[in-house]
Structure 1
Amino acid sequence: MAWFVVEQTYMPERFAEVRPRHREYLSSLVADGTVAVAGPVDGDKGGMVIYRVRDADHLQEIIDADPYHLEGAIAERTVREFKPVLGSWLAG
């Protein structure tokens, strides 16, 4: 399994309308263990999600299926692989 940090900057005129569908989508990913943590940053100008997925291709499928992406609410998105070595989220 691999970890990734995804940061997004929102399109101000789009994100509020799409947010309920985005949160519903992420909630399903929390339930299956794919999303470790998610939330807004910079006073709702953007958001950050930490994902745990099989690989980068799997992550791409997931973030491209997000309503924020599908409905044009993202101005910019960055994806970085994250290699946690300490923390309560890590098994063992």
Structure 2
Amino acid sequence: MAWFVVEQTYVPETFAAVRPRHREYLSSLVADGTVAVAGPVGDTGGMVIYRADDRDHLQRIIDADPYHLEGVLAERTVREFNPVLGAWLAGQ
């Protein structure tokens, strides 16, 4: 398994209407251990730390997010992440 940091910038006019579906989707990924932490960054973006088999697996996960499916994303950056310390790592 690998960790990934995904940073997103939203189209301001559209993201609020889609937010409930986005949060429901992420909540299901928290429940199965795919999402370690997620939240907004400022008023027009967010960040999620995912755990996935590889980059292709992650791509399928993030492409199924309602924010992606409904055209809310203006920009998305994906970086592989190698965490070495953190309270949330204890359960991995």
TM exceeding 0.5: yes
2:81 aligns with 82
Report the TM-score when normalising by structure 1: 0.94
Q: Which runs of 5+ in 2 are unaligned?
A: none
**1:88 positional shift:** 1.8
Match of 2:17 in 1: 17
Please list every run of 5 or more consecutive structure 1 residues that lacks an aligned counterpart in the other structure. Answer: none
Identity %: 86
> 1:6 maps to what in 2?
6
User: Cα offset for 1:91?
Assistant: 3.9
The SS at the match of 1:84 is coil
Deviation at 1:86, TM superposition (A): 1.4
Q: CA shift at 1:34, angstroms?
A: 0.3
Report the count of equivalent residues. Answer: 91
How well do the aligned residues superpose, as a CA RMSD in angstroms? 1.1
SS of structure 2 residue aligned to 1:89: helix
Partner of 2:52: 53
The reply to whether residue 35 of structure 1 matches residue 35 of structure 2 is yes
* Rounded Cα–Cα distance in structure 2 between residues aligned with 1:38 and 1:87: 15
